[in-house]
């Protein structure tokens, strides 16, 4: 080794020893006669001191060295003079008095300020010079955290008899609801591999193979339209087990997460065992299937109550099959009108036409009705006293609170109020940041109707089993069938999802039929799976956890790009190596590919 110690390990115990360190020049201060160099490696910082009495060659090297030069320093460890210790640094009690400095490699002035604490560096610059960005201690810490999480998972599962098994990257379409990335085959003209959207079918085949407990830290590829904080390739903990039901998988994963939080010394978990919420309940109370339970503010539903209201906006919405639901903004009854206008604009982004609002400024009369002066609203004049007190009761609002209502079709109401609840949570500082709130969401619908394509499609993926009691209505009432599926949610983010699978080929056939797949299509796409199911497929199920999202949540960073060494931009490009990029005509020829004219050219 070119070093005897790391830059993070020397302490008082080493005083008097001659050591050799190697790393990057983090900072350099020249006090005329006395030069201080903070030498950095992955493990920390050590102060190197070059006195005016140092040998000329040492002085020369110390004065030449600039930020990010690679240096090797030999010297004697000395205690820092009293009053000069740095308690914020693991090596803050000592310094190394340089006897020799070798410049191993000079460096150009980096385009990124590596030693600065500031974080407002343009992200495209960070991505272009990712190798410099990763030198920043913050990024290094994120990668260490990620490593620790993955290592923990491997150990936890290995100790429970799971086998880590690699599955191919060059494969065939494995539908998870996204578009495939395809790779042209040179050896098989006009044919393509698809990169796996997940190892779903392979892990099920491993169950048929008798592996019983499988996992993989698996790279998945999904060619989805650009959405903030999505990556075209991402990493999952992919897992499958035989002879289990949904509660077994949930118990295993819950136990793993709880231990993981302990290992990471993370914030306390809000509730153990994790609350289990049905999909229907999550949609009703939170407008989303991944509720953030770190605060209350549940949505309330007054559709029934206002279905015959004189207020046409409410009545018409319900008549058209829609809903009238709301959320309370605590303490905002007398807030500035500007705030209400802002929130109205806010919900319009999610398709709502507007917000109806009622500020409860005073108490009700003895008969429970609210006198006009106890209300601040533009809609109460259209409502009966019973409707008004009914809405206030349903909302749970107290004097001083503001009630906000949306009337629209269910999907718009859900989207608007889900986002509005979070916005109020942020504005009113209601989100409890001192805890981690996990929950399970269960009983998802098996199928959803795709209005554009006029057909049913799988909510999760087409290998998910219906609940036992629901199979009989698969053909007659597909929309009402619930799945043996479960998601695990952390602070309002879906960090994992899975299901118990179909393991009988007759049931799998029926589901494909309801999905409108023709015999030949089924045979071409899934023939291998249906065939395998005829050779003794055990009951099985599994789950996948998003390693990127999970790490980002523990690192408390807002983007998964912060925990991926070499992520792509939101537009799916790699700015460092410049990908994607054209290939040569010779390559295209070998691949039997002729390019079409670009659209618009």
In the complex, which residues of this chain contact ligand ASP (CB under 6 A)? 176, 198, 200, 497-499, 542-544
Minimum CB distance to ligand ASP smaller for 133 or for 176: 176
User: Which residue, 207 or 413, has its beta carbon nearer to ligand ASP?
Assistant: 207
If the CB atoms of residues 492 and 498 are measured against ligand ASP, the closer one turns out to be 498
> What is the DSSP-derived secondary structure letter of residue 533?
G
Biggest CA–CA distance in the chain, Å, is 95
Comparing CB distances to ligand ASP, the nearer of 75 and 498 is 498
* Shortest distance in whole angstroms from residue 465 CB to ligand ASP: 11
C-alpha pair distances (Å), 325 with each of 157, 364, 397:
44, 22, 14
Give the shortest CB-218-to-ligand ASP separation in angstroms.
Answer: 9
Q: How far is the CB of 545 from ligand ASP (least distance, A)?
A: 9
Tokens of 476: 């007659």
- Token pair recorded at residue 490: 């952390």
Least separation in angstroms between residue 543's CB and ligand ASP is 5
What does the alpha-carbon distance between residue 58 and residue 50 come to, in Å, rounded to a whole number?
Answer: 8
Min CB(219)–ligand ASP separation in Å:
12
Least distance from C-beta 560 to ligand ASP, angstroms?
16
What is the C-alpha separation between 355 and 344, in angstroms, rounded?
Answer: 5
Distance of CA 569 to the CA centre of its chain: 16
Count helices and strands (H / E) in the chain.
15, 22
Measured N-to-C along each axis, helices 137-158 and 547-555 cross at an angle, to the nearest 10 degrees, of 130
Name the phi and psi angles at 390, rounded to 5: -65, -45
Q: Which is nearer to ligand ASP, 221 or 286 (CB)?
A: 221
Whose Cβ is closer to ligand ASP: residue 93's or residue 176's?
176
| Contact present, 291 and 437 (Cβ < 8 Å) | no
Kindly give, in sequence order, each residue whose CB lies less than 8 Å from that of residue 165, ignoring residues fewer than 6 positions away: 206, 211, 214, 215, 216
CB of 203 to ligand ASP, least distance (A): 7
Tokens of 112: 């990124």
Nearer to ligand ASP, 28 or 461 (CB): 461
Q: Which is nearer to ligand ASP, 543 or 555 (CB)?
A: 543
**Minimal distance, residue 214 CB to ligand ASP, in Å:** 11
Q: Which residues of 111-134 are buried (b: 16+ CB within 10 A; e: fewer)?
A: ebebbeeeeebebeebbbbbebbb
Which tokens sit at 168?
């191919």
């Amino acid at each position: 080794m070119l070093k005897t110690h790391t830059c993070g390990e020397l302490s008082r115990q080493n005083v008097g020893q001659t050591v050799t360190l190697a790393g990057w020049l983090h900072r350099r201060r020249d006090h005329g006669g006395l030069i201080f160099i903070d030498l950095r490696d992955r493990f920390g910082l050590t102060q190197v001191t070059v006195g005016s009495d140092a040998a000329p060659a040492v002085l020369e090297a110390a004065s030449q060295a600039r930020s990010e030069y690679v240096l090797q320093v030999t010297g004697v460890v000395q205690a820092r003079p009293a009053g000069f210790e740095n308690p914020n640094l693991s090596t803050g009690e000592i310094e190394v008095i340089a006897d020799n400095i070798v410049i191993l490699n000079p460096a150009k002035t980096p385009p990124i300020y590596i030693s600065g604490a500031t974080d407002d560096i343009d992200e495209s610059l960070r991505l272009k010079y990712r190798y410099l960005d990763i030198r920043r201690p913050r990024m290094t810490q994120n990668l260490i955290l990620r490593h620790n999480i993955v290592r923990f998972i491997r150990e936890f599962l290995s100790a429970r008899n799971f086998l880590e098994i690699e599955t191919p990257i060059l494969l065939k379409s494995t539908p998870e609801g996204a578009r495939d990335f395809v790779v042209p085959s040179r050896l098989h003209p006009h044919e393509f591999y698809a990169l796996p959207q997940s190892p779903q079918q392979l892990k099920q085949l491993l169950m048929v193979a008798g592996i019983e407990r499988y996992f993989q830290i698996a790279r998945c590829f999904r060619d989805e339209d650009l959405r903030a904080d999505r990556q075209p390739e991402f990493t999952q903990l992919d897992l499958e087990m035989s002879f289990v039901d949904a509660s077994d998988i949930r118990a295993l994963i819950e136990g793993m997460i709880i231990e993981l939080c302990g290992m990471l010394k993370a914030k306390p978990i809000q509730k153990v065992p994790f609350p289990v919420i049905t999909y229907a309940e999550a949609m009703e109370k939170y407008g989303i299937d991944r509720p953030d339970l770190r605060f209350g503010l549940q949505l309330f539903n007054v559709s029934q109550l206002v279905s015959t209201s004189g207020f046409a906006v409410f009545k018409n919405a319900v008549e058209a099959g829609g809903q009238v639901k709301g959320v309370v903004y605590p303490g905002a009854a007398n807030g500035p009108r500007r705030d209400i206008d802002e929130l109205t604009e806010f919900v319009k982004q999610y398709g709502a036409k507007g917000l109806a609002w009622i500020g409860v400024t005073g108490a009700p009369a003895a008969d429970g009705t609210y006198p006009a002066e106890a209300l601040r609203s533009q809609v109460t004049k259209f409502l009966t006293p019973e409707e008004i007190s009914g809405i206030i009761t349903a909302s749970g609002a107290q004097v001083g609170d503001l009630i906000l209502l949306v009337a629209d079709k269910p999907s718009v109401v859900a989207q608007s109020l889900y986002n509005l609840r979070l916005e109020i949570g942020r504005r009113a500082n209601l989100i409890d940041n001192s805890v981690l709130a996990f929950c399970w969401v269960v009983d998802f619908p098996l199928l959803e109707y795709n209005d554009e394509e006029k057909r049913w499609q799988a909510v999760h993926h087409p290998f998910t089993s219906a609940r036992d009691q629901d199979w009989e209505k698969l053909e007659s009432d597909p929309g009402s069938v619930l799945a043996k599926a479960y998601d695990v949610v952390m602070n309002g983010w879906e960090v994992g999802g899975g299901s118990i699978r179909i393991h009988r080929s007759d049931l799998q056939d029926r589901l494909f039929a309801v999905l409108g797949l023709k015999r030949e299509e089924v045979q071409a796409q899934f023939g291998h799976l249906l065939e395998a199911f005829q050779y003794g497929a055990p009951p099985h199920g599994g789950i996948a956890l998003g390693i990127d999202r999970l790490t980002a949540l523990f690192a408390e960073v807002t983007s998964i790009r912060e925990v991926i060494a070499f992520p792509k931009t939101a537009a799916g490009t790699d700015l460092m190596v410049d990908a994607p990029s054209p290939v040569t005509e010779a390559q295209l020829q070998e691949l039997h590919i002729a390019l079409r004219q670009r659209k618009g050219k």
